[in-house]
């Protein structure tokens, strides 16, 4: 049985179920075979999607999987978010700027609150940047 790799880097095989072809991910099949079928998600301990050794696989909740992505640094935040409107260079410019939030927001086609939250280090993670300390939020305008 030949293994193939999907667009996300996971290995899968084609199986026939009731005469219909079905693609099954190998890590799920390994857990089904050796740990039993569960409704939980399959997790890779070492974050290597093609490492399907039983010792690397375990079940967990969606929350566990999310925490894994945060811990491995692979969560889709900042520049890794496919819907990001800003780049690291623009975020650096915004954080260094003394221009009003509304002006910067119009220039970069985002909301003024987004600009304010970037300036106060509440949002936008740049994987290459050093973490910046949170600045206290202004009260009132």
- The domains found in the chain, sorted by start residue, are 4-72 (3.90.75.20), 77-141 (no CATH)
Q: Give the pLDDT confidence of 20-48 residue by residue, as tens digits.
A: 999 999 999 999 999 999 999 999 999 99
Mean pLDDT of 12-27: 93
Is the dihedral angle over the CA atoms 141, 113, 119, 65 positive or is it negative? positive
pLDDT at 141: 47
Alpha-carbon dihedral of residues 43, 40, 16, 50, nearest 10 degrees? 0
Q: Which residue has the higher pLDDT, 126 or 6?
A: 6
Mean pLDDT of 121-125: 81
Output the six-digit token pair for 8. Answer: 């996300």
Residue 116: partners with Cβ closer than 8 Å, 6 or more residues away:
101
At residue 123 the predicted structure's pLDDT band, cuts being 50, 70 and 90, is confident
User: Would the pLDDT of 9 be above 70?
Assistant: yes
Helix (H) or strand (E) holding 26: helix 26-35
pLDDT at 129: 54
Residue 126 in contact with residue 73, Cβ under 8 Å?
Answer: no
Q: What are phi and psi of 70, to 5 degrees?
A: -65, -45
Helix axes 101-108, 112-119, angle to 10 degrees: 110
pLDDT at 140: 54
pTM greater than 0.75 (yes/no): no
């Amino acid at each position: 049985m030949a293994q193939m790799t999907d667009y996300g880097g996971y290995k899968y095989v084609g199986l026939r179920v009731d005469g219909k072809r079905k693609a099954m991910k190998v890590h799920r099949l390994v857990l089904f075979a050796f740990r039993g079928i569960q409704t939980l998600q399959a997790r890779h301990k070492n974050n290597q999607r093609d490492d399907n050794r039983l010792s690397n696989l375990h079940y967990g909740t969606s929350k566990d999987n999310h925490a894994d992505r945060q811990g491995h640094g692979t969560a889709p935040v900042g520049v890794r978010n496919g819907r990001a409107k800003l780049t690291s260079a623009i975020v650096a410019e915004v954080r260094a700027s003394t221009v009003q939030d509304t002006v910067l927001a119009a220039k970069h086609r985002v909301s003024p609150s987004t600009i304010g939250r970037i300036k106060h280090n509440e949002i936008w993670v740049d994987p290459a940047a050093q973490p910046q300390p949170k600045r206290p939020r202004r009260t009132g305008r």
